Amino acid sequence: MSSSRFSERLYQAAEPLWLKCHEHPFLTELSAGTLSTDRFIYYLKQDYVYLIDYAKLFAIGSVKARDVQTMAKFAELLHNTLNVEMELHRQYTEKFGVSREQLEQTVPSPTTVAYTKYLLDTAAHGSLAEVVAALLPCMWSYCEIGTAFAKRPGALDHPLYREWILMYSSEEFGELTEWCIGLMDKLAEGLPEAELSRLEERFIVASKLEYMFWDMAYRLEEWPV
């Protein structure tokens, strides 16, 4: 990756935050197969309602796109989120006796509200480039986590966490992430520094919210009142 690419600047700015995610006990325990199931179920339920809002971001990306190819790619991502990623969550939670209705009725925690509303605010008020900057850490960081975990000895042997790791380390998911990174670079081309730093801010805030999401799940966060 050439250093002139805007995505490289984003990566460097977010790297310390992403490393903190890799070191978070939720993820180190997940990759070691020792994460408690109550934490994992809590995460899946919160992530399910998170993904409902996140999917809307792809729909809005499709609306804001300037060409049919980009529209189609966002539609593919929307389809993938609703039917592949959320299906994994439905299958996982079914094993623990949580129905689809219960999943959909999950009360979003404070961190889930913060993250999803931040994304939807970007979609409502931002340019297509801002939307892509805000959604990219979610895809890119999961791709990095999935790929790193798949290489760890024994990580794929765990009967519960295997499917999760396989999904995020899959080739198809890697290609979708690469496409989003490429789109970010294309949209950033020729923009003035003031605009670029606005994009960087969206990317960094979303990266911080990614960290907070892992932490929320580990703490089984509840509303204080």
Ligand X SMILES: Cc1ncc(C[n+]2csc(CCO)c2C)c(N)n1
Give the pair of three-digit tokens for residue 189: 């081309």
**Minimum CB–partner distance for residue 193 and ligand X (Å):** 29
SS3 label, residue 26: helix
Residue with tokens 């970007």: 122
Catalytic residue check, 210: yes
Residues 32-61 that bind ligand X (CB under 6 A): 47, 50-51, 54
Residues 182-221 that bind ligand X (CB under 6 A): 210, 213
| Contact status: 139 vs ligand X (CB under 6 A) | yes
Distances (CA, A) of 113 to 1, 4, 83, 140: 34, 35, 23, 21
Q: Which is nearer to ligand X, 18 or 142 (CB)?
A: 142
Of 8, 210, 221, 222, the catalytic one is 210
Q: Which is nearer to ligand X, 18 or 50 (CB)?
A: 50
SS3 label, residue 127: coil
Give the pair of three-digit tokens for residue 66: 């300037």
| Contact status: 6 vs ligand X (CB under 6 A) | no
DSSP H/E element including 158: none
- Figure out which of the listed residues 138, 155, 183, 205 binds ligand X, where binding follows CB under 6 A: 138
Taking the CA atoms of residue 57, residue 62, residue 63 and residue 68 in that order, the dihedral angle to the nearest 10 degrees is: 170
103, 48 Cβ separation under 8 angstroms: yes
Residues 76-95 that bind ligand X (CB under 6 A): 77, 80-81, 85
Q: Which is nearer to ligand X, 51 or 196 (CB)?
A: 51
- Figure out which of the listed residues 40, 142, 164, 203 binds ligand X, where binding follows CB under 6 A: 142
Distance CA 21, CA 120 (A): 23
The residues of the shown chain that bind ligand X, judged by CB under 6 A, are: 47, 50-51, 54, 77, 80-81, 85, 138-139, 142, 210, 213
User: Mind telling me the catalytic residues?
Assistant: 210
